[in-house]
Amino acid sequence: MKETSLDRIVSSLADAPKPVATLSREAGIGWKTCLRYLTSLKRLGVVAELRTSKERIFYLQNFGRSRLATIPRPKVGLTFELVPERGPDPRKIEDLR
């Protein structure tokens, strides 16, 4: 099985918290790509971020329990239909006076 960039980032973070530059070097990808992966992992709750004045350090949260396999993907349709809007039926409206 081929190891992906995401696998290399997560396994690198398992060792110790690291800044984006170090993670991108170890994963063999650009720093912007690495930052995009880390942002996605952060939104999923897998990693957390610590900002200093010069760098962003990422570390794993709940390392023993990965949430990557349990996130459902939303199904989004590509088509829509315009339906004419009708007013309420005056026979079915209750008079509250």
Per-residue model confidence (pLDDT) at position 73 = 56
Per-residue model confidence (pLDDT) at position 21 = 92
Alpha-carbon radius of gyration of the chain: 24
Per-residue model confidence (pLDDT) at position 23 = 93
Per-residue model confidence (pLDDT) at position 46 = 87
DSSP for residue 96: -
Digits of tens for pLDDT over the chain (97 positions)?
577 888 889 888 888 899 999 999 999 999 999 999 999 999 988 899 988 888 889 998 865 554 555 555 566 666 666 667 676 666 676 666 6
Round to the nearest angstrom and report the end-to-end CA distance of the chain. 72
In a domain? residue 19: yes
The boundaries of the domain holding residue 45 are 5-62
Per-residue model confidence (pLDDT) at position 78 = 64
Tally of domains within the chain: 1
Domain of residue 31, CATH code: 1.10.10.10
In a domain? residue 90: no
**Pick from 37, 32, 40: nearest CA to 12:** 37
Classify residue 15 by burial, with Cβ atoms within 10 Å: 0-12, 13-18, 19+: exposed
